């Protein structure tokens, strides 16, 4: 059983996913659309795809069964809803949306249509999250009462070039995107390990002082001058989660963008850039090798020509020992991977959900729990750290119809 898919956005991220969708035995045809037609044509030719479409509207009017959205991060919500209403299954890059209203409309559209929606959260498949998820399932933590998730990505390490590539002449207006509106790499890695969700938050934003026109309130299309932000969340089980979103930081984010800590009554897990340890009440166990990913292709691969050198590690990292490669299709062996080995699992879980009519792990309800906390956290920061409640949309239904 196969289906056809249209990839929206043939940029640095989308083109690699178009390739993986095309390799998957559960996909019959891949089309591409991009505002820059040359990018779509280049991607079709490089990966021998089925073809390209002139516009998003043309794609929705076609007979493709699904769409995968890799557009600018603040555009996802309306595009996802439009695609669902057009009768397409939807895979979306993060974040799900940038407002509670957009999230609510996506969930309503999924309920109304019975179609598959999946948010492509890489941290759900991060080796640290995979490890912590297994330790929790085995009862090794006891009760998890405190967690930390950080997305630590300095602007100097490739982000300037990335925004220039996607934003054109007015890139500084978009490079000021509020850090807490991109929360899922931090939140999703924590909440992807154990069943909890945030119910309230207090957040402090740090105003930028670089004075280069990025994170400048007068330049920003978002009116944002926060380059770093720290949020403290209350969880529904009485525990605590702290997350950081950092864009000005002395840290080697090209080595590890997301990092996590979990503390339980019986055991704990801590991660730094190159070291990870499991600790119990007796000893400390170095588990760094279990979480270390292995390159899936060279850093100078031609497909990465438009990716800044400082960002390329995220596009070549393959599987770690803690991952389960046996569940992946044979066609993915030796294929490009990225973001700590997550790309193969992201594609496979979406394809499996569509073909089997099942819920993917990061479905609309889970995606809401990964996304909305950051949206409310940004509102808290704008209000000087006021503690604000976070709406919960509940658990997902058992299956998609």
Would you call 342 helix, strand, or coil by DSSP?
coil
Question: How much is the pLDDT for 207?
Answer: 98
Long-range contacts formed by 247-251: CB under 8 A, 24+ apart? 247/153, 247/154, 247/155, 247/159, 247/179, 247/215, 248/154, 248/155, 248/206, 248/208, 248/210, 249/152, 249/154, 250/154, 251/152, 251/154
The list of the chain residues with pLDDT below 50 reads 399-401
Helix (H, G, I), strand (E, B) or coil at 190: helix
The model's pLDDT over 148-164, given as tens digits with 9 standing for 90+, comes to 999 999 999 988 998 99
pLDDT value at position 307? 75
| pLDDT tens string 231-249 | 999 999 999 999 999 999 9
Residue 400 is predicted with a pLDDT of 45
Please tell me the predicted confidence (pLDDT) of residue 399: 44
Report the alpha-carbon distance of residue 270 to residue 323 in Å, rounded.
18
Q: In this predicted model, what pLDDT tens digit does every residue of 28-46 receive, in sequence order?
A: 999 999 999 999 999 999 9
Per-residue pLDDT tens digits for 355-384: 999 999 999 999 999 999 999 999 999 999
Side-by-side strand order, sheet with 276-280: 284-286, 276-280, 267-271, 258-264, 144-152, 240-246, 226-235, 198-207, 388-389
First to last CA, the chain: 17
């Amino acid at each position: 059983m196969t289906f056809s898919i249209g990839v929206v956005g043939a940029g640095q991220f989308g083109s690699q996913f178009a390739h993986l969708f095309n390799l998957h035995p559960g996909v019959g045809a891949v089309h591409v659309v991009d505002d820059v037609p040359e990018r779509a044509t280049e991607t079709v030719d490089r990966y021998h795809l089925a073809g390209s479409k002139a516009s998003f509207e043309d794609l929705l009017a076609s007979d493709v069964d699904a769409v995968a959205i890799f557009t600018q991060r603040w555009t996802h919500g309306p595009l996802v809803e439009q695609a669902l209403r057009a009768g397409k299954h939807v895979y979306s890059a993060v974040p799900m949306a940038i407002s509670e209203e957009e999230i609510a409309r996506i969930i309503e559209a999924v309920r109304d249509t019975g179609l598959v929606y999946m948010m492509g959260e890489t941290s759900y498949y991060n080796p640290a999250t995979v490890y912590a998820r297994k330790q929790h399932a085995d009862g090794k933590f006891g009760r998890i009462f405190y967690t930390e998730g950080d997305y630590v990505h300095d602007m100097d390490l490739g982000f300037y070039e990335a925004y220039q590539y996607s934003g054109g002449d007015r890139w500084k207006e978009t490079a000021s995107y509020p850090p807490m509106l991109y929360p899922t790499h931090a939140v999703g890695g924590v909440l992807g390990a154990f069943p909890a969700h945030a119910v309230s938050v207090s957040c402090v934003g740090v105003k930028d002082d670089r004075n280069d026109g990025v994170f400048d309130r007068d330049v920003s299309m978002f009116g944002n001058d926060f380059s770093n932000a720290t949020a403290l969340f209350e969880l529904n089980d009485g525990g605590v989660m702290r997350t950081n979103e950092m864009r000005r930081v002395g840290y080697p984010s090209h080595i590890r963008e997301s990092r996590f800590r979990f503390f339980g009554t019986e055991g704990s897990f801590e991660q730094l850039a190159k070291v990870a340890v499991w600790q119990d009440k007796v000893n400390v166990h170095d588990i760094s090798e279990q979480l270390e990913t292995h390159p899936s292709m060279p850093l100078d691969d031609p497909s990465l020509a438009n990716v800044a050198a400082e960002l390329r590690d995220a596009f070549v990292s393959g599987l770690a020992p803690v991952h389960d490669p046996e569940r992946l299709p044979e066609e993915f062996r030796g294929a490009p991977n990225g973001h700590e080995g997550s790309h193969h699992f992201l594609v496979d879980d979406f394809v499996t959900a569509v073909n089997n009519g099942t819920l993917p792990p990061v479905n609309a309800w889970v995606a809401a729990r990964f996304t909305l906390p950051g949206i409310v956290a940004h509102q808290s920061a704008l209000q000087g750290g006021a503690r604000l409640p976070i709406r919960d949309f509940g658990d997902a239904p058992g299956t998609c119809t």
